[in-house]
A and B are shown apart, each in its own frame.
Chain A
Amino acid sequence: MADPRPRHVAAVEPATSGASPSTPATVDATLRVSVLMVGQRSLAAQRRGRYVAGSGAHPARMAPDLARALIADYTQPGDWVLDPLAGIGTTHVEAIHLGRHAFGVEIEAGWVALARANIALARCQGGTGTGRVITADATRLPRGIPTGLRGRFQLVLTSPPYGRTMHGRVEHRHGPLTRFHNSYGSPDPANLAHRRRTGLIDGITAVLAGCVPLLAPGGLVAVVSRPWRRDHLLHDLPGQILRAAVGVGLEFVQDRKAIHAAARDGRLLARHSFYQLHVTRQTRGKGRPALLPQHDYVAILRRPPDADRARRR
């Protein structure tokens, strides 16, 4: 299958044996351009026709073009991708359209049903990959993953919940501001979305630790996140995730930023929700020079090739 590489990717061909003496020693074939421009299309355009009705009810969906760009950057057709916090299956849909195979874990049965419907739609639309989602608690990984898939994933791609205050949408509906689509379903404390900050980090740490043995040696982890804002101050969720990932034995590869603004005529056109703009304006009105968020953090990590040996020792 053709694998059109977006222009933001300046791929570095993997070095093979017998490297030329002129090959710079510092090149890591995994490295990519540090910025991903993923807002060239609106989120509505990215999702239109590719996701079943009801998918919009999920409080924190990954942008499809971001998932697509990361899968294209770090896998080849036929590779396996794992999303341990699968939600409505954005990773699956984009992987299937790119000819990859996706496996997902999701704790809420309602989202699992939607993910399966989205997978079926992607297959109907000609996607050559495959997708499967199970209802399970990702903090208990690798439990639940078929033995035959363990050690075969080339990429773990996921976006943990950003904290309760950042979920959902707020719009004017018949008058005052109304918040909706901000619930993950049952208030199961095992669901990371319902945990407070410390519990959330503990949960993410457990998920990442469970992913390590599922990765192929040298396989990559891409975690999309953003800071958590409370009382005007940001809390460093991306930094805490990075620390947790390195703590469970993953190697840091690269710090990237996903830009949701669109490049237009040499400038940047903001993509934003009504609520984001409203809150930022309010903050500026109080004399604070707040800026409208237009980016996500993408941490790229790698399972060391000898992770199994180190674990046995």
Chain B
Amino acid sequence: MTSPHDPIREAPDGRTGYDTGTGRDGDDPLGLSQLIASGVIDVVPGDPPVPITVWRVAEPGRIAHLLVGLYTRVGDTIVSLGHDPDIAGAAGAGGCRYLPVDAAHRLADLDHVSGAVRLIMLPWPPATQARTGAAASGPVVSGPAMDAEAMVDLFTACRVLLAADGYTIVAVPPATAANVAHLWQLVPAARMAGLGWVEQIVAITATIDGDQLDVPAAPTDRATLRLAHDLIVHIDLYVFVIRGGRHG
């Protein structure tokens, strides 16, 4: 089984890659066969096998492993708004270059990779200054929310960085009454920036134990009521591409 922390090796072109017998090479640019072989993704078997929109991600680092495995190739560049150690680890294991930025306006500093980034990871809802919302590895503390115009600017910066066949993936925790407006602003803001929504993935963070979702039984004692946070067992991943690009 391959995990993001498996040993890495030098790829033939000098870039790093998986040290496995079924490396992510030109025959399998999306890394799907490796994910299937390691049992971390569920597919409909056949020719070709088709992965489903619901992912099991209870294991730490699983989301990052799947995203890097499905949406990048060896040698690609991955940008993350906010440092995400899971993405960093998966990028390293997958032979990708990882470039985190600590604030939305710092994306403009990456002009040396304009038009060449394969994958951009964004937390949601974004903040005006520091990283906020949810990273692929889980929710983080919120900061001041970004307004709709700034969201368009953020996606525009992403579009400038993306390669023609690149992806911007937004990690969205279940909305609350306080931030629900961000949920319906997300897709329109991306569209105004020239990005198109092509996929949504539901990443289930609870363990699937046998034939059941492993959610602790409800307490009946009022004094032990669980926090609302405990009821959240999924995170949504919105996948965007350049409209009119190779995948849009």
Physical interaction between A and B: yes
A residues bordering B, Cβ < 8 Å?
A: 7-13, 15-16, 19-20, 22-24, 26-28, 31-35, 37, 40, 227, 232-236, 239-240, 242-243, 246, 251-257, 259, 261-270, 272, 277, 280-281, 284-285, 287-295
Report if B15 contacts A (CB, 8 A): no
Taking the closest CB of chain B, its distance from the CB of A36, in whole angstroms, is 9
Report if B56 contacts A (CB, 8 A): yes
Contact check, B48 vs A10: say whether CB atoms are below 8 A apart: no
Contact check, B222 vs A269: say whether CB atoms are below 8 A apart: no
Inter-chain CA distance A261–B228, complex, in Å, is 25
Report if B106 contacts A (CB, 8 A): no
Report if B37 contacts A (CB, 8 A): no
Inter-chain CA distance A19–B228, complex, in Å, is 17
Inter-chain CA distance A27–B220, complex, in Å, is 14
Contact check, A12 vs B211: say whether CB atoms are below 8 A apart: no
| A residues less than 8 Å from B181 (CB atoms) | 243, 246
What number of B residues sit within 8 Å (CB to CB) of A? 64
Instruction: Name B70's contact: one of A19, A235, A257, A289 (CB within 8 Å).
Output: A289
Told that A268-B52, A280-B50 touch, could you supply 20 new A-B pairs with CB distance under 8 A? A7-B212, A13-B218, A13-B219, A24-B225, A32-B231, A33-B215, A233-B243, A234-B199, A239-B183, A255-B174, A263-B208, A267-B208, A268-B56, A270-B52, A284-B50, A285-B48, A289-B71, A291-B50, A292-B51, A293-B52
Inter-chain CA distance A257–B200, complex, in Å, is 11
Contact check, A33 vs B233: say whether CB atoms are below 8 A apart: yes
Contact check, A13 vs B222: say whether CB atoms are below 8 A apart: yes
Given contacts A263-B213, A291-B199, contact A255 B226 (CB under 8 A): no
| B residues less than 8 Å from A261 (CB atoms) | 42, 52, 54
Contact check, A243 vs B231: say whether CB atoms are below 8 A apart: no
Q: Which residue of B lies closest to A269 (CB)?
A: B42
**Most A-side CB within 10 Å, residue of B43, B53, B184, B227:** B53
Taking the closest CB of chain B, its distance from the CB of A306, in whole angstroms, is 16
Taking the closest CB of chain A, its distance from the CB of B242, in whole angstroms, is 11
| B residues less than 8 Å from A23 (CB atoms) | 222-223, 225
Inter-chain CA distance A237–B216, complex, in Å, is 33
Report if B180 contacts A (CB, 8 A): yes
Inter-chain CA distance A182–B176, complex, in Å, is 36
